[in-house]
Amino acid sequence: MKGQHGLRDVSERGSFSGKIGFIMATAGSAVGLGNIWRFPTMAASHGGGAFLLAYIIIVVVFGLAMVCTEIALGRMTRKSPIDAYGTLRPRAKIIGVLSTLVPALIYPYYCVVGGWIIGYLGYYLAGSDCIGIFGDFSGSYLAVLTTIVFISIVGIIVYLGVDRGIEKLSTIFMPVFLILLVILVVYVLFQPGSMGGMEYFLLPDLSHVDASVFTSALGQAFFSLSLAMGITITYGSYMKKQDSIQRSSMTVIVIDSAIAILAGLLIVPIAYNAFGESMPSGAGLVFVALPEIFTGMPGGTLVAIFFFIMLFIAAVTSAVSILEAVVSTIIDRFHATRHRAVLFVTLPTLVVGTLISLGFGPLDWINIAGKGLLDLFDFASNTVLMPVVALLMCIFIGHVIGPKVITDEIESSGGFSLKRIYPILIKWVFPVFLAIILVTGVLGI
Ligand code: PFF
């Protein structure tokens, strides 16, 4: 059925059953490893409270404008990224292609990390303390197996569809995630010596504040809100016409930021006690440093199990959104069934995921400019492509179709408080910042 503007009506596509489903799934995508292993250390090392303030301002202005923009693009066209852009201007399809490439590159290595999480959960449940096992485990065939298990779980959920799979998963898992996180934070707060880390995380230290605070905060906001990856466009295409875009976006942003801050309250105090100001981040934090700290805590095994369940939820809901962005594109482009599209992405992912996993063992000789396979995928997707896509998107909206197309869609179902400054932001302010992020990221400054 053709709807307004000759665009397809929502009834032909899957759709979220309502506002809550949409919000939970979008928040599930946003809340991921970035909130837990990236944000806390980044905030702590960039001036604590000062970074938090910068981050909140950035998220409320940039984040809100960008999330609303992507949802509007998806909802007005009812298409996945390539066709969403293509419907507006045929030549703009290339932006959709590039933005689908971002999740396609992220997906295999995200699954490898997901596999590690499953492995650690298994080890803890089997009674291991997981100290010093990372090197051997990540290079083993067992890690390949857990990667395959993770890919299969995500594949099954996406295969089940938008309302039966993705929405159900998120509406059950996200509250569980939050409860576990709060329990862990409260526990850590009552540990002796947690105040030092807490102060380091929350009190502003202006001596650490420089221009990089803003660019790092912006880069983090993009990654954390799953922007410029086609994901929010895809989820927006499943949103009901009558739901307020601004209100849903704001809720997702508040959930994502609150969880990042809560994760900081959990991670920073324990890591600060052990490492002082040079605390690790990423895989080194989660798979190497934290297990050592957990072991020294009373009830440490239980804390570790809670922690890795939480991490699993964060990883799986984000991975589902990544796969959905690619799958929905294939369904739209090639009129494939969901079943076929999931298989079509999952099979190569199994191969690439296996290779990346083996990059920590038998294939660890593959190394370009000091980067192993996983880091190469991460660099290509997050440091290079993501800012390029975001930049192209802003230029396209600001200078080709005009900001009004987006603000009209947002206002068709509610208010848009950034309306007055939106044109300036999308035409000039965002592109300048994104260009800086791109250049400094690529040059490694
Ligand atoms: N936004 C998620 C996080 O903060 O970890 C992760 C993520 C989701 C990254 C989706 C990439 C992606 F395509």
Beta bridge partners of 204: 48
* Cα 42 to chain centroid, rounded: 16
Say how many Å lie between the CA of residue 188 and the centre of ligand 1.
26
Say how many Å lie between the CA of residue 415 and the centre of ligand 1.
27
Residue 444: the pLDDT is 82
231 lines ligand 1 (CB under 6 A): yes
Residue 2: the pLDDT is 38
146 lines ligand 1 (CB under 6 A): no
Residue 370: the pLDDT is 83
Phi, then psi, of 368 in degrees rounded to 5: -120, 125
32 lines ligand 1 (CB under 6 A): yes
Residue 319: the pLDDT is 96
The residue whose CA is least distant from atom 11 of ligand 1 is 226
Beta bridge partners of 2: 8
Say how many Å lie between the CA of residue 318 and the centre of ligand 1.
6
Closest Cα partner for 71 from 299, 217, 190, 230?
230
Phi-psi map region of 281: left, alpha, beta (phi>0 left; psi -120 to 50 alpha): beta
Say how many Å lie between the CA of residue 206 and the centre of ligand 1.
29
Closest Cα partner for 64 from 402, 334, 426?
426
25 lines ligand 1 (CB under 6 A): no
* Cα 167 to chain centroid, rounded: 17
Closest Cα partner for 232 from 71, 63, 387?
71
Per-position pLDDT tens, the chain of length 445: 333 333 444 445 778 988 899 999 999 999 999 999 899 988 988 889 989 999 999 999 999 999 999 999 999 999 999 999 999 999 999 999 999 999 999 999 999 999 999 999 999 999 999 999 999 999 999 999 999 999 999 999 999 999 899 999 999 999 999 999 999 999 999 988 899 999 999 999 888 888 788 888 888 998 899 999 999 999 999 999 999 999 999 999 999 999 999 999 999 998 988 888 888 889 999 999 899 999 988 999 999 999 999 999 999 999 999 999 999 999 989 999 999 999 999 999 999 999 999 999 999 999 888 888 988 998 999 889 999 999 999 999 999 999 999 999 999 999 999 999 999 999 999 999 999 999 988 988 7
Residue 213: the pLDDT is 85
Residue 205: the pLDDT is 87
30 lines ligand 1 (CB under 6 A): yes
Residue 10: the pLDDT is 41
221 lines ligand 1 (CB under 6 A): no
Say how many Å lie between the CA of residue 88 and the centre of ligand 1.
26
259 lines ligand 1 (CB under 6 A): no
Q: For residue 264, give every residue at least 6 positions away whose Cβ sits within 8 Å of its Cβ, in sequence order, or none.
A: 39, 40, 43, 44, 201
Q: Which two tokens stand for residue 9?
A: 């009506």
Which of 106, 170, 328, 374 to mutate to test ligand 1, by most ligand atoms within 8 A of the CB atom? 106
